[in-house]
C-alpha cells in the first residue's frame, strides 16, 4: 500500500511561508555527520524497539519492507541553516513499528550504527510524524545520507532525523542524545529557532 502522508500539501506555498527564521534555501543536499560513514548491508540490517520494561521487538530488512510503505514529501531544515524544499522519501511510519508495542513511555531515544543517539518525545514520532526511510527521490538511500535506512522527523531540525538508524529505546525519562548533551536544544523546532539549550 502506498500513500502520501499529511506532510504533502499539493499546491506549494511561497518560499517565505516555507522557510523558518534564520534559514536559507538550497537545491543541494549537504552531507554532515558526527563521525565516519557506516556501511551496513541490508542482509544484516535490523530495526529494534526496546521498551521501558525490557521487551525487544525486532524487524529484519525484509520484514520492514513487508510493512505498509508510505511515500512522503517534506521540507527539511538543518540547524546549520540550510533548508531543502520538497524532499521525497519512501519508508515505514514509526507508528507502524510501535502499533503493537505495549508502552507507557513518554520519550524515545533513537540510536544508530556508529553510536549516534538523539532523543524525542513519543508524541513527536507517532501519527505519521516520523518514518524509517530507505528511499530518497526514487533511489535507495545512499550511505552518505544515512542508508540503508534513516529516521525522518521533518518537523524538527534535521539532526533529530538520525542516520543509519538501528532502533529506538522507549523511556519514561527524557535522556539527551549526542548533540543535545553538548549544547544543542533538547527539542529542536526550526520555527522557534531552537538551536541551542538557551533558545
Q: 197 falls in which pLDDT band (50, 70, 90)? A: confident
> Whole-model pTM?
0.89
Sheet strands (E) in 64-159: 70-77, 82-93, 107-112, 117-121, 131-136, 139-140, 150-152
The domain limits of the chain are: 45-192
Quick one: cell of 59? 524487524
How much is the average pLDDT of 101-110?
Answer: 97
Q: Is the pLDDT of residue 193 over 60?
A: yes
Instruction: Say what the pLDDT of residue 134 is.
Output: 98
Q: Is the pLDDT of residue 7 over 60?
A: no
Q: How many Cβ atoms sit within 10 Å of the Cβ of residue 112?
A: 23
133-179 confidence digits (pLDDT tens):
999 999 999 999 999 999 999 999 999 999 999 999 999 999 999 99
- In CATH terms, the fold of domain 45-192 is Sulfite Oxidase; Chain A, domain 2 (3.90.420)
What residues contact residue 9 under an 8 Å CB cut-off, 6+ apart? none
Amino acid at each position: 500500500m502506498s500513500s502520501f502522508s499529511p506532510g504533502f500539501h499539493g499546491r506549494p506555498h511561497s518560499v517565505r511561508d516555507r522557510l523558518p527564521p534564520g534559514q536559507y534555501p538550497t537545491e543541494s543536499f549537504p552531507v554532515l555527520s558526527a563521525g565516519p560513514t557506516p556501511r551496513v548491508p541490508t542482509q544484516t540490517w535490523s530495526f529494534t524497539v526496546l521498551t521501558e520494561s525490557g521487551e525487544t521487538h525486532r524487524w529484519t530488512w525484509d520484514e520492514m519492507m513487508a510493512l505498509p510503505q508510505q511515500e512522503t514529501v517534506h521540507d527539511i531544515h538543518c540547524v546549520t541553516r540550510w533548508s531543502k524544499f520538497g524532499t521525497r522519501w519512501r519508508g515505514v511510519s514509526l507508528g507502524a513499528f510501535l502499533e503493537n508495542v505495549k508502552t507507557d513511555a513518554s520519550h524515545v531515544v533513537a540510536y544508530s550504527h556508529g553510536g549516534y543517539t538523539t532523543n524525542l518525545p513519543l508524541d513527536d514520532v507517532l501519527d505519521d510524524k516520523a518514518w524509517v526511510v530507505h528511499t530518497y527521490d526514487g533511489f535507495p538511500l545512499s550511505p552518505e545520507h544515512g542508508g540503508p535506512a534513516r529516521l525522518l522527523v521533518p518537523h524538527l531540525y534535521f539532526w533529530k532525523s538520525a542516520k543509519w538508524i538501528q532502533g529506538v529505546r522507549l523511556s519514561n525519562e527524557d535522556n539527551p542524545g549526542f548533540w543535545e548533551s553538548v549544547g544543542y536544544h533538547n527539542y529542536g523546532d526550526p520555527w522557534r529557532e531552537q538551536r541551542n539549550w538557551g533558545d
